[in-house]
Structure 1
C-alpha cells in the first residue's frame, strides 16, 4: 500500500489514474449499498417486521436510485481550473480563426452543368 504524504506541497492536479481509482471506489461502494438494500429487503420479508411496507419502499427506492447516482458520480471529473478553461477557450478561438481563414481562401466557384435534351429523329 502506498503511503500518502501528510502535507500537499504542489498545486498540481491529481493524476488521471488517481481520479479513476477514487471514482471506482465510490461506484463499488454505492453498488454494494444497493446489494445491501436487496439483501435487507429479503431479510425484512422473512422476519415480518412492523411497518414492513415502509421498509420495503425504502429498500426499493435505494435499489432504483443508487445505480443512477452511482453512474453519474463515477463519470464525474473534478472541475477544470481557470487555466484549463482559458487554454480551452484559446484553442477554440484558434480553431475558429483557422476555419474562417481556410473558408475565405478556398471558396471555389460553383460548377453548373447544363444538358440539352436531344430528341432522336423520328424519321427513318
Structure 2
C-alpha cells in the first residue's frame, strides 16, 4: 500500500496543479460526450429496444456535458477556513470604514463667512479700461 506524504504546510496547491486537475476533468467530460455521440450512432444501427429513451439520454449527455465541463473547468478550489476568515475580516473593516465616513459626513462644518467692504467711487465706469489705438 502506498503511503500518503505528510502535509507540512498550509499553502494552497499551486496554480499549475489546479489547472492540470481542471484540464483532466474537462477532457474526461468531453470524452464522455464523444462516447454519447458514438453510442447514439451504434444504437441507431442496432435498433435496440427502447431506442427513443436511449437516444434521449445520449442527446442529453451531448448537450449538458459541455456546459457542465466548462463550469467545472473554470471553478476554483473552495476557500480554506483561513481565507474565509480573512475575507470576513476585510468585509468587517470595510463596513466600519463606511460607518465612520457616514458619521464624519453628518457633522456639520462651521459655516464660511465672507466679509467684504463695498467701496464707492466717483469715477465713471470704464475710465480705467484701455482703448484700442
**Normalising by the residue count of structure 1, what TM-score does the alignment of the two structures yield?**
0.68
The answer to whether structure 1 residue 100 and structure 2 residue 86 are counterparts is no
Structure 2 unaligned residues grouped into runs of 5+: 109-133
Query: How much does 1:8 deviate?
Result: 3.7
**Which residue of the partner structure matches residue 9 of structure 1?**
7
Check 1:27–1:80 CA distance in 2 against 1; reply closer, same or farther (3 A cut): same
Over the aligned positions, Cα root-mean-square deviation in angstroms equals 2.5
Inter-partner Cα distance in structure 1 for 2:44 and 2:107: 75
Matches within 5 A, 1:48-63: 48-63=47-62
The answer to whether structure 1 residue 26 and structure 2 residue 31 are counterparts is no
Inter-partner Cα distance in structure 2 for 1:20 and 1:79: 14
**Which residue of the partner structure matches residue 89 of structure 2?**
90
**Post-superposition CA distance 1:31-51 (Å, at most 9, x none):** 121122112212222333343
Q: Which of the two has higher C-alpha Rg?
A: 2
**Which residue of the partner structure matches residue 3 of structure 1?**
none
Inter-partner Cα distance in structure 1 for 2:39 and 2:17: 33
**Which residue of the partner structure matches residue 112 of structure 1?**
none
